[in-house]
Each structure stands twice: as structure tokens, then as C-alpha cells.
Amino acid sequence: MVRFKAGQVVTSRAGRDAGRAYVVVAVQPDGVVLVADGQRRTVARPKRKNPRHLMATGYYDGELGERLVRGEPVRDNDVVRTLEAYAACEGAAAGAPMGGGSHGQAGCDRGRGHGD
């Protein structure tokens, strides 16, 4: 079974939100994963997901994850930025043009490999 941690980007595999990307905000003791996207589901009102209905993407924002674990305030736009960086990396990995160019490969390096 995959273990999830705060700051990790996941995608929903089931439900009406299937395919949607989220950031793990917390994992409850009973195993339920709390996720947010910063728009429909805010950090203040995260969605409860069964871990079997989530798929890990391999993208992890270490800075955001540490702030969540320490209980420091995290804003919805922090979550949105993490998801945008993840989307840019996925686009780069698929060979799609990035557009804008300011995020580039550096955005991918930020999330990959931290805390593995």
C-alpha cells in the first residue's frame, strides 16, 4: 500500500473528481487522506479521500510539506503554485511546450526527489 505524506501531489482515481490533481494536506490516524487543490477544495476545507482512490504522482513539494507538518499557515495559492509546477513538469515530461518559460526545468527540480 502506498503511504502518502503532506506536500505530495496525488491524482484521484475514483469518484466524480477522477483524474484531478490534489496536494496531500494531512493523513488522519484512521488512514483517510485530506487533499486540497486551493480552488474547489481549500486548505481550510480539504476533501477526505480513501487512500485506495488516490494515485501518487512522484511529485513532492518538500517546503510545503514541512510547513504542513509543523502546523504553519499554508495559503490556498501555495497549493495552487505547487499544482501548477507539477502540471508544468508533466507537460515537459510529455514533450509539450511549456509556454511562459519562467518555470522551466527548475520548477521540476523543486519537487522531485525531496524526502524520498
User: How far is the first Cα of the chain from the last one, in angstroms, to the nearest whole number?
Assistant: 16
Summarize pLDDT for 8-52 with one digit per residue, the tens. 999 999 889 999 999 999 999 999 999 999 999 999 999 999 999
Summarize pLDDT for 52-76 with one digit per residue, the tens. 999 999 999 999 999 999 999 999 9
Nearest CA to 27 among 3, 59, 61, 9? 3
d(CA 83, CA 25): 13
pLDDT at 6: 96
Summarize pLDDT for 84-109 with one digit per residue, the tens. 999 998 877 665 444 333 333 334 65
Phi and psi at 59, nearest 5°, equal -100, 130
CATH number, span 8-111: 2.30.30.30
Return the percentage of the chain with pLDDT > 90, whole number.
Answer: 72
17: CB partners within 8 A, 6+ apart: 47
Domain boundaries along the sequence of the chain: 8-111
The residue whose grid cell reads 511549456 is: 98
Residue 113 above 70 pLDDT?
Answer: no
Three state DSSP letters for 20-43:
CEEEEEEECCCCCEEEECCCCCCC
Q: What's the whole-model pTM score?
A: 0.80
Longest dimension (CA), the chain: 42
